Amino acid sequence: MNYDPSSEIRQITIILVISLTFGLLTGTLAWTLVVSLSGYLIWNLRQLFRLYDWLKQEKLSDPPASHGLWGSTFDHIYQLQQRQLKYRARLKKVIKRFRDSTFALKDGFVMLDDQGNIDWWNPAAEKMLGLRSPIDSNQLITNLIRHPKFKGYFENENHERPLVIPSPLNNDIILEYQITRFGKQDQLIVVRDITELKQLEKVRTDFVANVSHELRTPLTVIDGYLETMSDNREMLAPPWHKPLDQMTEQTRRMSNLINDLLLLSRIESRDNQGRHTPVDMGATIHSIRNDLSSNLEEKQQTLEIILLSNKQLLGPKEQVYSLVSNLASNASKYSEQSAHIVISWLDTTTGAQLRVEDNGIGIPAMDIPRLTERFYRVDRGRAQAIKGTGLGLAIVKHILVNLDGTLEIESKVGIGSTFICNFPSHRLQSTKQKAS
């Protein structure tokens, strides 16, 4: 109901006119004015008390009946109360839906405040992490999940990758933690049970490793016989020469494939925090250039080394070697005669970088995202002419995962490619003298 101020003014004017007329007629103007204004004041005070009594009530009830300014005020307050009740009901419904959905989720959710204290968690998190209500509420998360890797992960600002560690309740259960920041430095931890996935992955890698291992012995025997036959090829009739060459080539290919598969499963099964041997990048790159020298000479290619960082990379030596070697041999393989290859090792704001650049055949943009997939080769027809297993960059990717590094690929067809490996500072160690 909308209030019209002119009606209130009209009412006061009528009271004043009646009081004045009555006062003038009876000769008691002052008394009449005092009595009528006191009456008006008392009536207003009464309305105020009624409002106070009504608002004091715990339960919402209909507003006191009144008219004019007071009636309108009561109605407006009543409408506000009704609206607020509706909002509250809607909010309750939303909270209930949120609670129901988080209760039904199989993944665990733990909400933390900006200090890392636990604010809230869902039943799945309770089951996976053994959180107890209300004792663990407001506790520091690192006091409850005491794994050293969790502490490191939690304190690290970069949570791009999830952390995989055993459950604090049972070592056989493998959990994946992912931290996301929201609001004002609040954090949400999502916990997933990936035990089954890890088991399946292990079955797969074990299977590939076992098959590769079993194939290696017969293949070595075949290779040995083929080599003997090749050494004595004059004893064979000429029609057998071509099949012998083809058999030798295919056996070598199969052998390379098996070696790459075995290397890949070795890299995959290794704990990435395990070994922290400082690797001299300058020496590694020089040694790879020596290993590739015959290929480089054959294609009259040049390989330039630029060492601008004195940092050593912390990781398993053979994996670092394999990483650089795969990238360098690809640069040579996928470049024409007389190409120029540059391998650089330099500092960055976040750590260090290995760059392998070539001015070779390049890679079409649409193939770049898939290069690190196993057996992916750009344009099979083109790749067929160049020997390879299609596993080199998959090996590179897995080594980088073990070394906490990332891979960037920049390439233009016909101009060349650059493979950039970025390493974080915790994977680096300074050497006393600068590398040259």
Closer CB to ligand ADP, 351 or 392, in the complex: 392
Nearer to ligand ADP, 184 or 380 (CB): 380
- Binding to ligand ADP by CB under 6 A, coded x per residue (else -) over 311-350, reads ---------------x---xx--x----------------
**Least CB distance from residue 377 to ligand ADP, whole Å?**
3
- Kindly state the greatest CA–CA separation across the chain: 153
Stretch binding ligand ADP (CB under 6 A), from 106-114, 115-123, 310-318, 361-369: 361-369
> Which one of 156-164, 203-211, 237-245, 388-396 is the stretch in contact with ligand ADP (CB under 6 A)?
388-396
Q: How far apart are CA 333 and CA 390, in angstroms?
A: 13
In whole angstroms, give the CA distance from residue 297 to residue 352. 30
**Does 377 help bind ligand ADP (rule: CB under 6 A)?**
yes
Q: Give 174's strand partners.
A: 166
Beta carbon nearer to ligand ADP, 351 or 360: 360
Q: Reduce the DSSP state of residue 296 to 3 states and report it.
A: helix
Q: How many CB atoms within 10 Å of residue 269? A: 12
Nearer to ligand ADP, 312 or 330 (CB): 330
Binder to ligand ADP among 174, 179, 361, 428 (CB under 6 A)? 361
DSSP for 233-250, please give it. Answer: GGGS-GGGHHHHHHHHHH
**Per CB under 6 A, 389 contacts ligand ADP:** yes
3-state secondary structure of 305: strand
Exactly one of 193, 268, 358, 404 binds ligand ADP (CB under 6 A); that residue is: 358
| Helix (H) or strand (E) run with residue 91 in it | helix 68-104
Secondary structure (3-state) at 341: strand
Binding test (CB under 6 A) with ligand ADP, winner from 315, 316, 392, 405:
392
CB-based burial of residue 376 (10 Å sphere; 0-12 exposed, 13-18 middle, 19+ buried)? middle
Q: Could you tell me the strand order of the sheet in which 278-279 lies?
A: 278-279, 311-314, 428-430
Three-state secondary structure call for residue 67: coil
Q: Give me the least distance between CB of 283 and ligand ADP, in Å please.
A: 23
Which of positions 237-256 make contact with ligand ADP (CB under 6 A)?
none
Q: Which of 345, 352, 349, 329 is nearest to 281 (CA)?
A: 345
403 is a contact residue toward ligand ADP (CB under 6 A)? no
Closer to ligand ADP at the Cβ: 278 or 390?
390
Residue of the chain from 163, 388, 405, 427 that contacts ligand ADP (CB under 6 A): 388
The residues pairing with 111 across neighbouring beta strands, listed in sequence order, are 120, 188
Q: Is 417 one of the binding residues for ligand ADP (CB under 6 A)? A: yes
Residues that bind ligand ADP (CB under 6 A): 326, 330-331, 334, 358, 360-363, 371, 376-378, 383, 388-394, 417
